[in-house]
Each structure stands twice: as C-alpha cells, then as structure tokens.
Amino acid sequence: MVLVPHADVASPSAPARTPSLLARLGAVVGPRAHDLADRLLDLESWIARDLVEVEGELGRLIRGDSLVEKSAHHLLDLGGKHVRPLCVALASRAGGGFGAAARQLAVAVEMVHSATLLHDDVVDLGETRRGSPTARLVYGNAASIFAGDWLLVEALRRIRAAGVSGLLDEMLAVIEEMILAESVQLENRGRINTALTDYFRVVEGKTAALFRWAMLAGGRAGGLPLDSCRALERYGHHLGIAFQAVDDLLDVHGDAAVTGKALFTDLREGKMTYPLIVALERDPALLPVLAECARLPPERPLPAPAIDRVLAALVATDALADCRALARRHAGEAARAIAPLPDGGGKAALVMVAEMTAGREK
Amino acid sequence: MVLVPHADVASPSAPARTPSLLARLGAVVGPRAHDLADRLLDLESWIARDLVEVEGELGRLIRGDSLVEKSAHHLLDLGGKHVRPLCVALASRAGGGFGAAARQLAVAVEMVHSATLLHDDVVDLGETRRGSPTARLVYGNAASIFAGDWLLVEALRRIRAAGVSGLLDEMLAVIEEMILAESVQLENRGRINTALTDYFRVVEGKTAALFRWAMLAGGRAGGLPLDSCRALERYGHHLGIAFQAVDDLLDVHGDAAVTGKALFTDLREGKMTYPLIVALERDPALLPVLAECARLPPERPLPAPAIDRVLAALVATDALADCRALARRHAGEAARAIAPLPDGGGKAALVMVAEMTAGREK
C-alpha cells in the first residue's frame, strides 16, 4: 500500500509513465540528462527508503490496550499510501535533510489524516476502508470518535515536541479549515446540483490544506528560508487538489480490487465529485439517475442500468478525461511552484511525486 | 442556569446552606468574624460578577453560519453552570486578578468541556441536554461530531493566544487523560458489576482533570508561584470529584424539572455511578433489577416497580447519604488544599464554591 513499488522499481506495469517523467525531470534537474535514467532509479529508491522510515516510525507508536488506542491502531495498521508523511520527508530533503524533528512531523500529519478518516467513517457510516472493515464496525462508533480525538491530540503533542516554531499554530489553523470544509460538505450532502465552487472549497479545506502543512513542516524542519517554505506550501496546495481529483476519478472508474473501495462510494454518500459535477453540467438529463443512486439505502446495490448510464455519460462528456487533466494540471502547478528552489534530489523527488500522484491508478 | 442566584442572594430557597458556609468561611478567612455575613454577600456577588463576565465572553464568540458552528452554539447558548470558567476566574483572583489572559482561558475551558459534551451526546445517543434537545437531534450526529472537533481546536488556539507558557501542553495532556477515561467508561458500559476503582479512574480522567487544568490556568494567569499553582491543582482535582459525585446523586435523586435531565440517565446508558455501585455492594440482590434497567431500549420507560426498588435500596443502604458525604469530603479536601495560599477574597470565594458544589441540588 505504498505510492511506489519498493523493490521492482522498473516494473513493467508502469512503462508509459517513465518517458513523461524523464521529460519533466529533465526540465527540472537541468541539462545534464545523460544520466537521467539512473537518477530516476535513485530517486524512486530514495522515496521508497523515506517511506520505509516513515512506516517504521508509525509502527513504533505506543500501543496501549484501551479500546480507543486499539481503534486508532486498527486504521493505522491498514497502511495507506502515506503520501502526506512522504511530503514532509521530501520537503525536508529539499533543505537540510530528513532528521528527527521531520520524522515526528511526518508521523503527526498521518495521525491527523487518520483522525479525520475515523470521524468521517462514523459520519458516513463507512463500512470498508483500505479493503478492510472500518474501525467503527470492529470497535464501534463511540470508540472511533474517541480514537479520532486521541490521534488528533497525540499529533498535536508530537508537533509541539518537535519544537519547530509556528508549526503548531499552523496545524490548528489547518484543522479548523478542514472542519469548516467538512461543514460545507455536510450542507451539500445529497444536493446533486453542487456547484464547482463549493466542490473546490471542500477540496481545498479537506485535502489541500493538510498537504500544504506537510510541505511547510518539512521545509521548516529542513531549515529552509521563508520564501522556499511558501513555495513548498504552494506545491502542497496543488498536489492536494491533484490527489483529490484522482481519488474522485478512482471512485467512479477505479478497480475496486486495487483501490480497496467500492465504486461510486462518494455518490452513495451524497457527495458530488468533480467528474460527476462536470458530467451533469454537460448532460443535464443525468440528474434523476444520480439522484436515484444517492437516495438508495446503503444495503441495496446500485442498479446496473444506472451504473451503465452514469459511466457512459462520464466517458461521453469527457468528464473522466477532464478530471485526469485537472489532476495533471495541478501536478504541473505543484512542480512549477518549487521551480525557484535550488536544484537537488529533494526537489527532483517532489516533482516525481507530483507526476506519480496525477498518474496513479490506486 | 448559574451556580448561584445573581440577585436574590439571601434567597429563602437555600437557608440551610448559610450557617455551614459561615462556619467554614470563618475557619478560612480568619478570626475577624464580625463582618462575615457582609463578607459572604460580597463574595457571592463577586462570584456572580465573574460569572457574568465569563458568560459575556462566551456570548461574544464568533458565530459563523456553518452547520458546525451552529451546532456548537446551540449547546453553548443553552448556558450551563459554567463552574469550570468560574474556577479559572477565582483562581486568577487568588493571584493578580481576572485579566484578559484569564478570560480567554476561562472561555477555552468551557469550550473544551462543551466539545466533550457534543461527542458524548453522539456516543450516548443523548436526546436532552440542559432541558433542551441535544445538538445532534437538531443538527445531526455528523454536525455534532465536527462541532466538537471545532470547539476543541478553537479552545486550543485561544489557549495558545493567551500566551501563558505551559498551559497548552498541560491541556493536551488533560484532553488525552479525558479520552482514555472515556475509553475505560466505554469498556465498562453495561457492566453492572463495575468496581469503585474503575469508577474513580473515569471520574479523575473525565471530570477532575479538566477542573485541575482550570485552576492551574487561573493560577498561572494570575501570576502565582509554582507551589500555589500546585495547591490550586489539588483543589481542582478534589472539586472535580465532588462535582461528579453530586452529578451522580442528581441522576438518581434530582428533580428533573430543576436539573433538566431525566432520572437514571446514567444507568440507562449503562454507566454505573457511585451511589449505584455502593447500593449494589451492600444489596447484591439489586443486580437483576439494575441489569434490567440498563438493558431496556431508550424509548421504553423504566417500569415503576424497578424505579421504586432501586430508590428504596439507595436509601436503605445509605448509598445516597454516602454519595453526598463523598462530595462533602472532597470539597473539604479542596478547601484544605488551598489553605497555604495567602488569605483574601479569591481564596475565600474558592472555599465557598467548594461548599456550594458539594451542597448543590441542581
């Protein structure tokens, strides 16, 4: 469950990605392109190494035997892509390196993310997460709510202990943004005619804000100057949007066996995603079909004709292609945002992560 | 909905309280007892003034129109006893006075308390709070969960902004204690044979810890030295236990019209309180009756014979009297804890609050 394969780096499953990556990296790391293929391999193994380190740190979290701690670990042990901690790691490498403080901050950002998932699963009555039953199904809603609270507080204590000034205040502000975005999403729930402006408000608050913090945290822990940290934050903002756009895409068009999530989960929870909003704008006759899907109780499967109708519209209106294009555009913006940073492995790896994020299939 | 009447201080509804209060105050404020009655009136109006100030500050909280903010304000607007902010105010008056920082901290402690109530009501499926429908019934479970998250984060930002060193770290530690106590309570839910040791673990974590922080915050904001702050924390710890013991008492023996809570709510939520644990210890035949009450679905009223049987046992076993005695003992411990503090109005008011807490009927 990691963003890149650990061992089989030149895996045949992603051959189409490499030329484009090489091209983009070429633009970033400068004209010395003769050793670019080697360099790419170096970068991928480097990212993999940082992920292993982050995962080791997450695995060493204290495990009490209380119901609340067990619920929290149930989710953490299911893994995940760990792209937020990876952001902290790579941003710190764009500066002085991935040291002890950055490692604490990387763990903290994953804990905050996990806290929101635990609360979201209670709110959405979620049953499956990362291909397994949600913590609320295993340990109950109550334990999930308190486990979210616990992870949040533990994360804040870690950020405090990391001792990098300003980061705790920024995280508190980010969590507030996240909650207010949840509120907007809640108010729009079941409203099929969601405006794209509301969609972007939710994505910026719920997803992009935490990516932004991850980049800031890594930059600050790596000792980078203010303007570089601001550039990293812009990267995080755009990467977050790209990440969410692909999540949206996978919800309507992914392979459930790979993503661990059933198709159309967002729609069934009454959440209109980017491809659905775009498809509806271009094919208004889709409205009653979407409304029917959103209204159906969770235990009833979606009718095959409705699925076929929505999928056909997503293709015919180019909504799927446009969603991937949105992700690529923001990944490009992310890469451009850090162009002023000094060249080096950290920066090159961040560009690669942006590229992989926009292209990911799981 | 305040701890003391604002205007009608010498109200005939509480005549029995005054002599005992005078006697205790006599022991604390020294031998100049001739003006003690006047002094008592001064103190009560002083406490009332601080409460008005705290309530004014709470009323000035920013009110956004998001669902989450509305849910949070739904609870805050229902008032409450505000005993935790009062602790901050009076502890600060034991030092340099109730200034701007102490006011922020007083608001923050009430916000944290309200955050826990919002989450508790979702966990317990609570329908009534302070005599009104709970926020989760008005705005939904989801909004209540996020409103709790929001209040928590807003409180932490306020504590941070108050700029009194150490208090944020202490609050994070206290919130963690509270969550782990919730976990113990959750694990014991429905277990009629709860041990008193588990009961006290829950009370110390869920209730006493936040009172302790309130006293520390007031003391620190009032510029008191470390040993005085430690004494205030001990006061808070004991006051919290006294407060909870009376809450337990009112749950089995209060006037629902006055407390705003139906009788036996704790038992119906599967929570064994001090008087119930004591009554069961002394009258083991009560077990099946209590089990029946705890098992009954919330929409079914408790059968009158069961209520009568439990109430009779609470009286016959002296469980009610012992619960009140527990409250008085801890109120006495609280007053003794601050004996080393310099004499003055702040200290005398804290002694009075301890006395009123143990004697309260709502």
Question: What was the pLDDT predicted at A114?
Answer: 94
Question: Computed from CA positions of residues B302, B305, B307, B309, in that sequence, does the dihedral angle turn out positive or negative?
Answer: negative
Is A329 within 8 Å of A225 (Cβ atoms)? no
- CB contacts of A69 in chain B (<8 Å) are 183
Q: How many CB atoms lie within 10 A of CB B26?
A: 13
Give the DSSP letter string of B165-211: TTHHHHHHHHHHHHHHHHHHHHHHTT-SS--HHHHHHHHIIIIIHHH
Residue from A86, A163, A149, A164 nearest A119 by CA: A149
Count CB-CB contacts under 10 A for residue A240.
Answer: 29
What chain B residue is nearest to A153 in terms of C-alpha separation? Answer: B172
How confident is the model at residue A256, as a pLDDT?
66
- Contact present, A358 and A242 (Cβ < 8 Å): yes
pLDDT for A314-323, tens place per residue? 999 999 999 9
Burial of A19 (0-12, 13-18, 19+ CB in 10 A): exposed
Q: Domain A24-359 adopts which CATH fold?
A: Farnesyl Diphosphate Synthase (1.10.600)
Q: Is A152 on the interface with B (CB under 8 A)?
A: yes
Query: Residue B42 corresponds to which amino acid?
Result: D
Model confidence pLDDT, tens digit, residues A182-233: 999 999 888 999 999 999 999 999 999 999 999 999 999 999 999 999 999 9
Residues A97-116: pLDDT tens digits? 999 999 999 999 999 999 99
d(CA B303, CA B241): 31
- Integer angstrom CA distances of residue B7 from B2, B25, B41, B46, B255: 12, 21, 11, 11, 23
Provide the pLDDT confidence category of residue A18 given band limits of 50, 70 and 90.
very low
Q: Is A175 on the interface with B (CB under 8 A)?
A: yes
Cβ B262 vs Cβ B128: under 8 Å: yes
**Which residues of A fall within a CB distance of 8 Å from B119?**
145-146, 149
Q: Residue B253 CB: number of other CB atoms within 10 A?
A: 18
Helix (H) or strand (E) holding B56: helix B36-59
Please answer whether residues B296 and B192 qualify as being in contact, where contact means their C-beta atoms are separated by less than 8 angstroms. Answer: no
Whether residue B234 lies within 8 A of chain A, CB to CB, comes out as no
Give the single-character DSSP code of A204: I
The pLDDT, as a whole number, for residue B26 is 46
For the question of an ipTM over 0.85, the answer is: no
Substitution target from B119, B149, B269 for chain A, most A beta carbons within 10 A: B149
Reading the block at residue A221, the tokens are 């822990």
The dihedral region occupied by B311, where left means phi > 0, alpha psi between -120 and 50, and beta the remainder, is: alpha
B328 touches chain A (CB under 8 A): no
Measured between alpha carbons, how far is A312 from B20 in angstroms, rounded to an integer? Answer: 80
Tell me what pLDDT residue B184 has.
92
Name residue A129's beta-bridge partners: A132
* Chain segment A348-361, per-residue pLDDT in tens: 999 999 999 999 88
Which residues does chain B have within 8 Å of residue A145's beta carbon, measured at their own beta carbons?
A: 119, 122-123, 145
Q: What mean pLDDT do residues A332-338 have?
A: 98
Q: Say whether B146 and A67 touch across the interface (CB within 8 A).
A: no
Find the CB nearest A68 among B143, B156, B179. Answer: B179
Q: How far is A189 from chain B (nearest CA, A)?
A: 11
B154 Cα distance to chain centroid? 21
Whether B119 has its CB under 8 Å from any CB of chain A: the answer is yes
Q: Given pLDDT bands bounded at 50, 70 and 90, which one contains residue A37?
A: low
By C-alpha distance, the chain A residue nearest B160 is A169
Place of tokens 């309507």: A252
Say which of A122, A146, A156 has its CB closest to residue B179. A146
Structure tokens at A240: 């977050």
Least confident of A147-151, A267-271, B22-26, B267-271: B22-26
Q: Kindly state the percentage of chain A with pLDDT values over 70.
A: 87
Percent of chain A residues topping a pLDDT of 90 = 58
Correct CATH for B39-359 of 3.40.50.150, 3.40.50.620, 2.60.210.10, 1.10.600.10: 1.10.600.10
Look at residue A136 and tell me whether its pLDDT is greater than 90: no
Distance CA A72, CA A62 (A): 11
B140 touches chain A (CB under 8 A): yes
Measured between CB atoms, which of B146, B152, B187 is closest to A182?
A: B146
Interface residue B20 vs chain A (CB under 8 A): no
Q: Report CB contact under 8 Å: A183, B140.
A: no
Q: Which residues 6+ apart lie within 8 Å of B77 measured at CB?
A: none
Q: Which pLDDT value is given to residue B259?
A: 63
Domain coordinates in residue numbering, chain B: 39-359
In this prediction, residue B13 carries a pLDDT of 37
Interchain CB contact of A174 with B (< 8 Å): no
The pLDDT of residue A36:
60
Q: Are A152 and A175 in contact (CB under 8 A)?
A: yes
B47 vs A235, more confident: A235
3-state secondary structure of A164: coil
Select the residue of B146, B160, B182 nearest A172 (Cβ to Cβ): B160
Question: pLDDT digit string (tens) for A48-93?
Answer: 888 888 888 888 877 778 888 888 888 888 878 899 999 999 999 9
Q: How confident is the model at residue A43 (pLDDT cuts 50, 70, 90)?
A: confident
Q: What is the rounded distance in angstroms from the CA atom of residue A357 to the CA atom of residue A245?
A: 10
| Contact at CB, B176 and A157, closer than 8 angstroms | yes
Residue A275 vs residue A40, higher pLDDT: A275
| Chain B neighbors of A172, CB-CB under 8 A | 153, 156-157, 160
H-helix or E-strand spanning residue A132: strand A132-133
pLDDT at B269: 87
Q: How far apart (Å, rounded) are the C-alpha atoms in residues B264 and B310?
A: 10
Ranges of residues in chain B with a pLDDT under 70 are 1-37, 39, 62, 256-261
How far is the C-alpha of A181 from the C-alpha of A179, rounded, in Å? 5
How far is B330 from A19, CA to CA, in rounded Å?
73
Dihedrals phi, psi of A128, to nearest 5 degrees:
-130, 135
**Closest CB from B66, B119, B123 relative to A180:** B66
Mean pLDDT of the residues in chain A: 86
d(CA B22, CA B40): 8
Q: What pTM does this model have?
A: 0.85
Residue A255 phi, psi dihedral angles, 5° rounding: -100, 110
CA distance B272 to B294: 9
* Cβ contact, residue pair A183, B154, below 8 Å: no
In 3D, which of B210, B86, B83, B99 has the Cα closest to residue B162?
A: B99
Predicted pLDDT at B18: 41
The pLDDT value recorded for residue A3 is: 41
Residue A123 has its nearest CB partner, among B145, B173, B182, at B145
- H-helix or E-strand containing A129? strand A128-129
Higher pLDDT, A165 or A78: A165
Residues of A in contact with B148 (CB under 8 A): 149
Out of A154, A176, A186, name the one closest to residue B153 (CB): A176
Q: How far apart are CA B188 and CA A76, in angstroms?
A: 25
Nearest-neighbour CA in chain A from B246: distance (Å): 26
pLDDT at B1: 33
Place of tokens 């699963």: A121
Beta carbons of B17 and B25 less than 8 angstroms apart:
no
Return the beta strands (E) in B38-151 as ranges.
Answer: 128-129, 132-133
Report the C-alpha gap between B233 and A226 in whole angstroms.
41
Q: Give the number of A-B residue pairs with CB atoms closer than 8 Å.
A: 108
Q: So what's the pLDDT on residue A329?
A: 98
CB proximity B153 to A under 8 Å: yes
Q: What is the pLDDT of residue A149?
A: 93
